[in-house]
Amino acid sequence: MTGFNRRDFLRAAGLGSAALALPLAVPAGRANASTTGPKDLKATVAPSGAWRVIAGDLDWTFSGTVGSAATGIATRAGSDALGSYSETTFTFQGGARQGGIRVYNTASSVVFTDTYVTAGANGSPFPTFTGYPKLAHQLSHSDCFGRFQFNTFAGASDSPWVFFDDKGGTFVLSAANHFQEAQTSQAADGSIAAGVISSIATLPAGYTRQTILSTKAGVGAAHRAWGAALTRLAGKPLPANDAGVVLSTLGYWTDNGADYYYTFEQDKGYAGTLLAVRDEWAAQRIPMGYLQLDSWWYPKGPNGDWNDLPDGTSLYEADKELFPNGLASFQKQLGMPLVTHARWMDKSSPYRGEYAMSNNVVIDPAFWQNVMDYLRDAGVVVYEQDWLCNNAKPAENLTDADAFFDGMAHHAADDGLDLQYCMALPRDYLQTTRYPNLTTIRVSDDRFDRPKWDMFLYDSQLAGSLGVWPWVDVFMSGETGNLLLANLSAGPVGVGDKLGKVNAGNLFKVVRPDGIIVKPDVPIVPTDATYVGEAAGRMPAMVASTHAAHVGLTYRYVFAYARQFAAPQQIYQAESAKLSGAVVGRDNSGYTGSGFADYQHADGDYVEWTVQAPAAGTYTLQFRYANASFTDRPLAVSVNGAAATDLSFPSTGWWTTWSVVGTTATLAAGANTVRATATGASGGNIDWLGVTQGSVPTGMSQDASFTLAEVGETGPAYVYDHFAGRGALVGKGGGVSATVGSGTYWIVAPVGPSGIAFLGDADKFVPHGDKRVEHLSDDGMVHATIAFAAGEGPVTLHGYAPRKPAVTATTGSAGAVAYDSSAKLFTFRVTAGEGDRAAVTLTP
């Protein structure tokens, strides 16, 4: 496979966490009738050292022992940033350690505290859970980007551990401080210990670590309770979804997967190319709020070469070949803020002789002050720290990681910069609770596209729970599904098209003419039913939702897509076919049979099957494949030596992510040959050829459903299919079901007292976002205040009503109402008045 990308580099270098399967069998703990009491959380500690926490509302019991007698047991009430609590404290290990169990009923959380009174060996962790609810499903995150995984804790010792049942009852367990050295582990008997990584042998006097347990009915609700508890305990004010230009405006990105990643127009140079992109956007009146410079902008490796892809940073300053007058001069010419990327320090970097280091990162405060001062003076507003899961990972001890992250965050804050983490480990997600200026985090692999959608959605739950806005990564402006999901993330939206390729019409579905993003209140995440279905091994269609809340009305946005395809009638394994140039591979998991066909050359390699057709006629040919490159790898498909047809094999995101494409062909009765030949771009890895008589759908297709209650709507609603342009009234307690493919997007609008379901701005993906609909209420009449960009023209509003409504405007003006009596849908246009606002009332 030719071409460099980050994932190939990681695989070749052997980087990443080793997978170790851990037993998941756990003993159940059930509260006795005499201890259940009120529906709340309670904690007890016995002189023997046994402790117990009862979650009465869920009828769950958690229990364990501190491994010695407990003395000085006392219970007191108090309050802190998380709310009122009841805390039981005690000493154990002969007075060498102090413990505490603090119960927050209103926060649905329990915090365990373990303090070393005197220095001692790292051992006998508290809490160790020997009893806890035996729930059917588990979720954790591991390795780069905190990738989600179900029913395993392999490589996830630094992750929150999530347990849930078929009804969504959930508990979440994680460290509550000292995230970088925290370790959760499970013994062969199923007991769970929350402690410190074993490479740290001794813990000093005064060392205090905390563990949090949050319980809630609902997978999403438990995540939110857990995350809110951590951020409030840390004292982190949560950033708004429009905090700073990266969150509030449309950006242009040059990172891996963008058209100008380590390349530029040769007649313009790098700086000239980016200035030309700015000018092209301006000519089309596309508002660009900021520009991201990826790792190409600074010198790397032993020769200080900007184009050195594999190596670390030599000097963290603008490369003189690309920016001869420096970064500040370029930014001034550009006329907009910058986001700048950072790697690890190269082994040849002169910084190693100037500053204190830990592995390949600098932990010296003087370095961070100098860097952030430099960036501030160059108009940089966000510093992006990449490669956190491997090359930019500090040594594992009690001090270095905090010195690295604290120095970065505090000096960035001093200079008014925000931070973004990329390739973060689960512990780094938790670390974000310490820094108010850590506002965004990458939640999926490079170059956002369909294969990364699952990862983005599940990992956004982790990020969003901790008050960090998820960033999907760069994509192209014409990719409607990617653009929609980026918008629904409520985080940044950034594209990377080359000159002449930008799709202005698509981008204006997300932003106003002034570049302000119209977005939901929270990140889109999978529904609880999707979590349960996937954990149970059913691989349901993905259904995810977010919302925008107004006065007494909350509007839900639901996106669903298929993740399965119809099985073919016959399957022919690629490794058993005739291979020319291609070889049998087994180095990437997920294939069926005994291997897959791996194309070795850009052109001419082929895989040829002999297939049997029961009768002459039309057949559907399906190819299961994986393609980790960012580009299509088409193959020429020919039958019985006839003229070939080019078939697209787009990226699947990684070599272990498999998808299916297909075409139709005419087969003769009996034996036929089907050949797939590389035509200049090599080929993906081919697992099998499927053959089905007749013409059948070749892509993903699956039934999807959700109830109004599952997305938080308690009354009737009008459910509008955005792409189809039609909808239906759904009664209280009802639901929606449909066959979905590459993506169906519904707007769920509550029917208010007026009988009207207001669908908002007809030209925006998020039609009720508060940057467009500033105020919305229904008291028998619908009252809406519409916000405009300065100089913006009329905006089209629409909705459902059982009869044609009347519209009046108190600010600005409203046009005539058009009403479709069969669909019961209305539209009208509003024009801004004073203060770039229009205030309208709809009367049924």
Average pLDDT, the chain: 94
How far is it between the farthest Cα atoms of the chain? 87
Structure token digits, residue 169: 């009852």
In a shared domain, residues 58 and 179 = yes
Rounded Cα distance, 132 and 163, in Å: 10
Residue 109: partners with Cβ closer than 8 Å, 6 or more residues away = 82, 212, 213, 214, 215, 225, 226, 229
The answer to whether residues 762 and 685 belong to one domain is no
Residues 91 and 196 in one domain: yes
Q: Tell whether 674 and 781 lie within a shared domain.
A: no
Instruction: Tell me which of 567 and 208 has the higher pLDDT.
Output: 208
CATH label of the domain that carries residue 781:
2.60.40
End-to-end CA distance of the chain: 63
pLDDT given at position 700? 87
Query: Given pLDDT bands bounded at 50, 70 and 90, which one contains residue 22?
Result: very low
What average pLDDT score do residues 346-375 get? 98
Same structural domain for residues 688 and 761? no
For the chain, how many structural domains are there in total?
A: 3
Antiparallel, parallel or unpaired: β 773-778 and 578-580: unpaired
| Structural domain contains residue 801 | yes
Interval 257-279: pLDDT, tens: 999 999 999 999 999 999 999 99
Same domain membership, residue 669 and residue 797: no
Burial class of residue 615 (count of CB atoms within 10 Å of its CB; 0-12, 13-18, 19+) = exposed
> What angle is formed at CA 243 by the lines to CA 239 and CA 247, rounded to 5 degrees?
110
Q: Which two tokens stand for residue 701?
A: 């297709």
Pairing relationship of beta strands 603-613 and 645-647 according to DSSP bridges:
unpaired
Domain that holds residue 825: 753-844
Last-in-domain residue among 174, 199, 234: 234
What pLDDT, on the 0 to 100 scale, is given for residue 522?
A: 98
Cα–Cα distance measured from residue 326 to residue 334, given in angstroms and rounded to the nearest whole number = 13
Confidence label for 39 from pLDDT (cuts 50, 70 and 90): low
**Is 413 part of any domain?**
no
Summarised one tens digit per residue, pLDDT across range 746-755 is 999 999 999 9
Whether 654 and 775 share a structural domain: no
Same domain, 106 and 207: yes
How far apart are alpha carbons 755 and 778 in whole angstroms? 9
Does 31 or 401 have the greater pLDDT score?
A: 401
406 is a domain residue = no
Side chain identity, residue 681 = A
Asked if the structure places residue 418 within a domain, the reply is: no
Average pLDDT over residues 612-627: 96
125 and 195 both lie in a single domain: yes
- pLDDT bucket at 546, cuts 50 / 70 / 90: very high
164, 48: one domain: yes
Confidence of residue 567 (pLDDT cuts 50, 70, 90): confident
Residues 431 and 400 sit within 8 Å (Cβ to Cβ): no
Choose one of 212, 234, 256: the last residue of a domain.
234
Q: Are residues 99 and 193 in the same domain?
A: yes
**Cα separation, 659 vs 623, whole angstroms:** 8
Calculate mean pLDDT across residues 662-673.
Answer: 96
Alpha helices in 171-268 (DSSP H): 219-234, 245-248
Specify if 298 maps to a domain.
no
Contact 560, 740 (CB under 8 A): yes
Whole-number Å distance between alpha carbons of 152 and 18: 13
Give the confidence band of 678 by pLDDT, cuts at 50, 70, 90: very high
